[in-house]
Structure 1
């Protein structure tokens, strides 16, 4: 059961984050979807507005192209009739006319007419503005004059009504909230519709599109509040899923914290009730085929859950500080196991230390109090630190204090972290343990073998003894022996053993390596067909 103060603890923060994360993610996705949806709608509206302008202007241009044969002809009744027929084909066209190479109108759909084309828009009582669009378009505030000409030669043109353009275009209002503006060139308006932009809030949402046929651009603008409207719609659709996911993650976080708290209480109870065991993983001198020591490994035999794997409880023990009393118990047990045992002078026991144990002198005092004057002396210990061990002033002082008592110092799991030459030079260890992930690929991957060789060479340059972990095949053993690696441990020799079994192994199997090599090299019997 969780404590009431959970929400004021780091664990409570984890639960809170687990609960909020899905909601934040769902809200972010809904906001992104709302923006994309609004942008899509505005794109479609702008494309439609441009397409309408292209269609209406294109109809005029097409009609003029169909009558280009009239250019340069006399202003006969037949010519006037064909020009007048253009005003029926396009509802925008008010009149059409022919002009000569000097820019003079000489024939229109209303009859013979002579005027300068640059002032042709004067019939609408306003001056004209010429803009290049395909061939050319002359426009003013109320009229649109489309001209077809060939490099200032004689041509044909038509006058269209902008007011009709605005009426014939497809209405786009966005439910009365948005505005559409279609302009010719830089600023000549062809159409405006919808809500005035000035009435919208600051920083409205807008999208612009430009025609690929004519010098026409359309801009669609809506208030920024429309994004919030779409966001609320998306949130209504997906918010329930976010709430369910949030509840699930919060429940998983609470369950994990509850398990962690239960594991922490179980570790404390295991210390009181002596539920821990020590198993010894033999270390073999593979050059001389002798068992020269072992690595002492902690095991937790839970009364209900059975044997719990170290990787499940050691991280919790390190984070809660329980690793210190657990290691102290392990060292006392190792001392008692080997008390009175006749041990070779070069025999050693390796004990794993956590990074937190290098922060003060507690481990130094514990080793001195537990092993001084005992059968298993401090000099027969090898203290293993992982690459997570911090090389700082406190850690350096702890190592120096340990060295004065005689234990060797080993760097465990080398190659799995971020250690480099600089780290090893600062570490000043006596042993370098090659991680099993590299050893187990010997014989299968040339690149990995190169890594193993590099580690071996690096250890020799730094005058460190090498211990290969995870040796499981004779091929791996041969490879390591050929490269002069002195020590190894792995299932090829034995798995971690209780003390009595380890002692039996040490006494009755003085040459396990030779035994395995002979078994591998023995000739196979042929099986009769």
Structure 2
């Protein structure tokens, strides 16, 4: 038989092993996430860089394109009459180095040299064309042999007449082709099969070292692209990885310490509740709600029962307050919502039939939390029955967003205050919630017919509900005397053992079939 010492030693070894595994896992995960994020950031920076370069070049070309409207009327006019305006345009544009006028395929006027008489194709064989064109080539007129970027604008789709604008490629290079090492080591402007790089000039093939990344971004407006190259994303991310080691080590040790503290505790009751939810150990019961005036069952209240296979049956009065204290009431409520929605076939498909589900004040602290849970767990099954959210008063209720209440009412969800008069600031709840229903706590129902103070409070609650036009439900009705008193005072929705005890949902259809008639008789 294993000794206590051996069990403790094994448990200690398992704790140490678990903490080491957690530390290594967190350490590796932190480095891995850092590596992936750095790689993604490098990629985003390169994409952003090339996009800005393309956008800048688009703006330059677009501004030149607008100027052709002013320049094209000059085509065919004598050069002496147009020269001054051409030079003024060059000075104004800044991005243009020269402007040429072409008539019948002859370059006859230059902003730099004045009157000329040179066939355009002799200077630039790829010009002219019947459509606008951008070429990257070698200059043969101003600074012969230097790179030049030209934009050709034909006159009315006539390839013999038009305007040629020589773009200041040095300025373009400064604006858009400035590398950003170590991320980007080379940047080029690409037009057709020509590549221009600052300091290199024009080449017919891209310059890319082996193992480098290459990324290109094309313009959607003009026939050019911007390409960049540099170390691969992986290589750059690996270079940054050593700087993340201290943070990864801190996270690893921190999570190891947290694991050590967490595993030091014995199995807690909160763990039992979580296990109960995960293993579906909780069972739904329901207790009918009788309308004594109409002599029918108008609805049910959903109740939670727990037969713990490890500890035996546990009363709701035990596990629900603990769930609230351990912040587990929301998972329990979601469990009830989901289980009820999946078992709606046990209830009449009648929009006037009410199903009451208890919720804690914590569900109202976040404006969207309750709505999200209802949308995901309740409305997703398209229920026909009426849902009533019964809010318990065990916890203090903070301010409730009026939009949340309007949304609940628009979805035809009723609000009820459960166990009214026994919890926190009942009257303030009336102001904050504007409830549709008040459920009189069973302690006040049991006081009927006695001299207890609660008997007087019962009358006050009834009068308050009637004055505010709020529907009243009496809980814990166990005797005909209590039922008779409540009906005489205008409370006709009754719930308690006099009519039916809580029962499993599967038994409700059979009970309902036997109790379609009037409720049990009350004292005259």
The TM-score normalised by the length of structure 2 is 0.47
Which entry has the higher C-alpha Rg, 1 or 2? Answer: 1
